[in-house]
């Protein structure tokens, strides 16, 4: 799967996804009340998946894994800080938990169990290595572009497995060419195929945006063999990512869906980061794009026996920080992304 990025700076640097060089901290959706029958535990972990951590806590407390609430899944190959919840009656037993890769930072009372999605986003800290003078300038330039324009919201490589082929098994399952009895594994593989289709749709839309930087709407339609008028109203838009009539938009960073009809108005709101276009994660019971946007989207839509969704196509990194350490050739980078977004997208844009 070839993904397209809006920059062509061709920057080489080294990034090791490890607890020493990669930190992820969850930003809760709301403040915890300080009272109630649940305990919210702020935990720092390393070299463990969220599922590994939950299993360790559950086994220590002697409870079911499902009794532990969490907002999102965090990387194994990073130092991560996240919140989980348990019933307050286990507080004394929790104090006895000792594990080399788990540290409890805070414990707070709250009124309810944490649920999946109960977070605003994540704060990422990354150390890039072997960054020499010219590369440092390219990183500075790339970060400035991201600050001004945002970045594509591809699904990360984690969705596709070590060799990047999980989606192929997911496709075979849908086509009834492969049978997997384990429901969770089956849904994971089919979900990988959903992600593959979304990523390819997004790559096509970025290809369109890149073409429109050099060619007219009519010329771009010809190059891409699109029906005449598909790209009407795109060339004049100031944003890098061009909207099409019929795009399914969503208020940003969360909110309701609606169709793009007045392109000039929606493009202005998009530039102000009030709304953003969404792409289809194909499946059941989800909204499809219409009109010109539907022409593009339909090529990446399939009948999939899982719940479908709309996912932001374009996002913005906020609170971007940087620090260059010339004697070590290290470039320390920090930023916040909305929930469900991958830090590797920032690195991929910076690499070009």
CATH number of 41's domain:
3.30.2350.20
Q: Domain check: are 233 and 87 in the same one?
A: no
Within 13 A of 115's CA, how many CA atoms are on the CB side?
2
CATH classification of the domain holding 270: 3.30.2340.10
Q: Domain check: are 186 and 73 in the same one?
A: no
Q: What is the pTM of this model?
A: 0.90
Confidence band for 163, pLDDT divided at 50, 70 and 90: confident
Angle between helix 217-224 and 183-214 (nearest 10): 140
User: Within a domain: residue 1?
Assistant: no
The neighbouring-strand residues paired with 321 are 334
Q: Domain check: are 156 and 296 in the same one?
A: yes
Confidence band for 184, pLDDT divided at 50, 70 and 90: confident
Q: Domain check: are 200 and 310 in the same one?
A: yes
Q: Domain check: are 62 and 161 in the same one?
A: no
Domain span including residue 255: 151-315
Q: Which of 158, 122, 137 is nearest to 17 (CA)?
A: 158
CA distance 246 to 262: 9
Q: Domain check: are 187 and 305 in the same one?
A: yes
Provide the 8-state DSSP code for 160: G
Give the tens place of pLDDT for each residue, 210-238.
Answer: 999 999 999 999 999 999 999 999 999 99
pLDDT higher for 263 or 12? Answer: 263
Q: Domain check: are 197 and 293 in the same one?
A: yes
User: Within a domain: residue 331?
Assistant: no
User: Within a domain: residue 167?
Assistant: yes
Q: How many residues does the chain have?
A: 352
Chain centre distance of CA 185 = 21
Confidence band for 10, pLDDT divided at 50, 70 and 90: low
- Candidate list 75, 169, 247, 348, residue with the active-site label: 75
User: Within a domain: residue 29?
Assistant: yes
| Total number of domains in the chain | 2
Q: Domain check: are 116 and 155 in the same one?
A: no
Q: How much is the pLDDT for 7?
A: 64
Q: Is the peptide bond before 232 cis (omega within 30 degrees of 0)?
A: no
User: Within a domain: residue 3?
Assistant: no
User: Within a domain: residue 193?
Assistant: yes
Look up 75 and say whether it is catalytic. yes
Q: Domain check: are 111 and 171 in the same one?
A: no
Confidence band for 8, pLDDT divided at 50, 70 and 90: low
User: Within a domain: residue 181?
Assistant: yes
User: Within a domain: residue 215?
Assistant: yes
Provide the 8-state DSSP code for 351: H
Q: Domain check: are 97 and 241 in the same one?
A: no
Give the tens place of pLDDT for each residue, 30-65.
Answer: 899 999 999 999 999 999 999 999 999 999 999 999
Q: Domain check: are 76 and 168 in the same one?
A: no
Within 13 A of 174's CA, how many CA atoms are on the CB side?
21
Q: Domain check: are 202 and 69 in the same one?
A: no
CA distance 22 to 333: 10
């Amino acid at each position: 799967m070839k993904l397209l990025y809006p920059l062509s700076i061709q920057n080489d640097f080294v990034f090791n996804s490890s607890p020493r060089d990669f930190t992820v901290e969850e930003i809760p959706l709301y403040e915890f009340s300080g009272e109630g029958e649940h305990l919210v535990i702020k935990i720092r972990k390393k070299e463990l998946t969220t599922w590994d951590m939950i299993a360790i806590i559950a086994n220590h407390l002697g409870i079911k894994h499902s009794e532990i609430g969490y907002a999102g899944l965090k990387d194994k190959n990073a130092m991560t800080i996240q919140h989980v919840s348990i019933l307050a009656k286990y507080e004394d037993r929790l104090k006895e938990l000792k594990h080399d890769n788990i540290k409890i930072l805070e414990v707070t009372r709250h009124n309810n169990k944490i649920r999946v999605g109960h977070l605003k986003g994540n704060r990422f800290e990354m150390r890039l290595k072997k960054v020499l003078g010219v590369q440092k300038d390219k990183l500075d330039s790339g970060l400035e572009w991201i600050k001004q324009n945002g970045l594509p919201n591809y699904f990360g490589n984690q969705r596709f497995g070590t060799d990047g082929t999980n989606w192929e098994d997911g496709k075979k399952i849908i086509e009834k060419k492969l049978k997997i009895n384990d429901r969770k594994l089956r849904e994971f593989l089919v979900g990988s195929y959903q992600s593959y289709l979304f990523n390819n749709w997004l790559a096509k839309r970025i290809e369109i945006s890149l073409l429109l930087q050099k060619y007219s709407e009519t010329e771009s339609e010809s190059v891409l063999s699109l029906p005449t008028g598909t790209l009407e109203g795109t060339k004049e838009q100031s944003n890098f990512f061009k909207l099409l009539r019929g795009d399914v938009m969503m208020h940003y960073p969360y909110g309701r869906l609606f169709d793009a009809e007045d392109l000039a108005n929606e493009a202005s709101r998009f530039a102000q980061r009030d709304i953003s276009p969404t792409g289809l994660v194909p499946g059941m019971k989800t909204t499809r794009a219409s009109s010109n946007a539907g022409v593009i989207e339909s090529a990446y839509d399939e009948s999939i026996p899982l719940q479908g969704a709309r996912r932001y196509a374009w996002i913005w990194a906020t609170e971007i920080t940087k620090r260059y350490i010339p004697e070590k050739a290290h470039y320390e980078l920090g930023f916040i992304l909305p929930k469900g977004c991958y830090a590797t997208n920032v690195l991929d844009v910076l690499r070009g």
